[in-house]
Amino acid sequence: MHQTRVLGVRVDCVDMPSALERIEQLVDDGGPHLVATVNPEFVMRARKDPDFARVLESADLCLPDGVGVVWAARRQGCDMRHPVAGVDLVQPLAAMCARRGWRLFLLGAAPGDANEGLEVNAHSGAPDPSHDVETLHRIHDHHPDVILVAYGAPAQEFWIDRLKNRLGVSVAIGVGGAFDYLTGRVPRAPVWMRRARMEWLARLVRQPWRVRRMAVLPAYAIKVLRSPK
């Protein structure tokens, strides 16, 4: 599988079908495997947080999450057109689990009802170690093959890294705010905005507190433009 580095952080050059194919293979291989959804905030954080950089480096698949990463990866010769965002991954991944008879566990922000035909279980929990015993108990009860962890970055990646050998799952994926969109708690940007690659703007308007996190984006763009192709 072709991959590149965006300001030092690995990004796999995949689209949705090849990402799903790779995840299917990772589940077949048995785990634990970490799948990260790399966006510009991840990249900027990894540059100043060696521990986060180490966790991303240990990931088995680094998905290009967002237009900022796709743009930078394409500059490095990656042949990809669209981001593979956590929120877009959940539905086809659930379909794949249903098809293969794999169990899916949703951890983090309260998700909605299970899809018909899909064995799914959910628990909110929290990333703090004081919740580990209860959370592991819930997970072990369900014997999932795949777990989606929605604690936001970097908490979800650190959580997976800390507990991956005790989860008993084949694949763990940090999906950020994906469940908030699935349940409709946070509406997604209209299709025209997504097509115009402006979903980030809709997120900013709906959740203005994001401005602090997005403050790294201009620095990210400048660093990418200055980095050798």
User: Using the rule CB under 6 A, which residue among 71, 119, 152, 227 binds ligand UDP?
Assistant: 152
Residue 184 has a CB neighbour count (10 Å cut-off) of 9
**109 contributes a contact to ligand UDP by CB under 6 A:** yes
Tell me: does residue 111 bind ligand UDP (CB under 6 A).
no
Does 127 bind ligand UDP (CB under 6 A)? Our answer is yes
CB neighbours of 175 closer than 8 A, spacing ≥ 6? Answer: 37, 86, 87, 89, 90, 108, 148, 149, 150, 156
Identified binder of ligand UDP from the candidate list 148, 157, 176, 224, rule CB under 6 A = 176
| In the complex, least distance from residue 169 CB atom to ligand UDP, rounded to whole angstroms | 18
Residue with tokens 């705010």: 177
CA-based nearest residue to 172, from 180, 162, 160: 160
Give me the amino acid identity at 143: H
85 binds ligand UDP (CB under 6 A): no
Q: Kindly determine how many residues on this chain lie close enough to bind ligand UDP according to the rule CB under 6 A.
A: 13
Q: Which has the closest alpha carbon to 65: 46, 45, 48, 82?
A: 82
Residue 12 touches ligand UDP, criterion: CB under 6 A: no
The candidate with the shortest Cα–Cα distance to 173, out of 116, 71, 94, is 94
The residue from 179, 182, 200, 224 that contacts ligand UDP (CB under 6 A) is: 179
Q: Per rule CB under 6 A, is residue 177 in the interface with ligand UDP? A: yes
What residue is closest to ligand UDP based on CB?
176
Beta strands in the chain (DSSP E): 3-6, 9-12, 33-38, 61-64, 104-108, 120-123, 146-150, 171-174
35 contributes a contact to ligand UDP by CB under 6 A? no
Q: Decide if residue 64 touches ligand UDP (CB under 6 A).
A: no
Query: Which one of 14-22, 52-60, 148-156, 160-168 is the stretch in contact with ligand UDP (CB under 6 A)?
Result: 148-156
> Strand pairing partners for 63?
37
Tell me how far apart the alpha carbons of residues 158 and 151 are, in angstroms, rounded to a whole number: 10
**CB of residue 87 vs ligand UDP: minimum separation in angstroms?**
8
Residues that bind ligand UDP (CB under 6 A): 108-109, 124, 126-127, 150-153, 176-177, 179-180
